[in-house]
A and B are shown apart, each in its own frame.
Chain A
Amino acid sequence: KQEVTQIPAALSVPEGENLVLNCSFTDSAIYNLQWFRQDPGKGLTSLLLIQSSQREQTSGRLNASLDKSSGRSTLYIAASQPGDSATYLCAPAFTGNQFYFGTGTSLTVIP
Chain B
Amino acid sequence: GAGVSQSPRYKVAKRGQDVALRCDPISGHVSLFWYQQALGQGPEFLTYFQNEAQLDKSGLPSDRFFAERPEGSVSTLKIQRTQQEDSAVYLCASSLASGAYGYTFGSGTRLTVV
B62 at interface, CB cutoff 8 A: no
Residues of chain B at interface, number, CB under 8 A? 27
Asked if residues A97 and B42 are in contact (CB atoms below 8 Å), the reply is: no
B55 at interface, CB cutoff 8 A: yes
Known: A97-B48, A98-B56. A49 touches B43 (CB 8 A): no
Known: A34-B102, A93-B99, A104-B42. A42 touches B48 (CB 8 A): no
A64 at interface, CB cutoff 8 A: no
Q: Mark A75-111, 1 if CB is under 8 A from B, else 0.
A: 0000000000000010101001111111110000000
Asked if residues B91 and A51 are in contact (CB atoms below 8 Å), the reply is: no
* Total inter-chain residue pairs, C-beta < 8 Å: 59
B103 at interface, CB cutoff 8 A: yes
Residue of A nearest to B93 (CB): A44
Show the binding face of B for A, using Cβ within 8 Å: 31, 33, 35, 40-45, 48, 50, 55-56, 91, 93, 98-108, 110
A-B pairs with lowest CB-CB distance, top 3: A101-B42, A49-B102, A43-B107
23 contacts between A and B (CB under 8 A): A31-B99, A32-B100, A34-B103, A42-B107, A42-B108, A43-B107, A44-B93, A44-B105, A46-B103, A49-B101, A49-B102, A93-B99, A97-B31, A97-B50, A97-B55, A97-B98, A98-B48, A99-B103, A101-B35, A101-B42, A101-B44, A102-B42, A103-B40
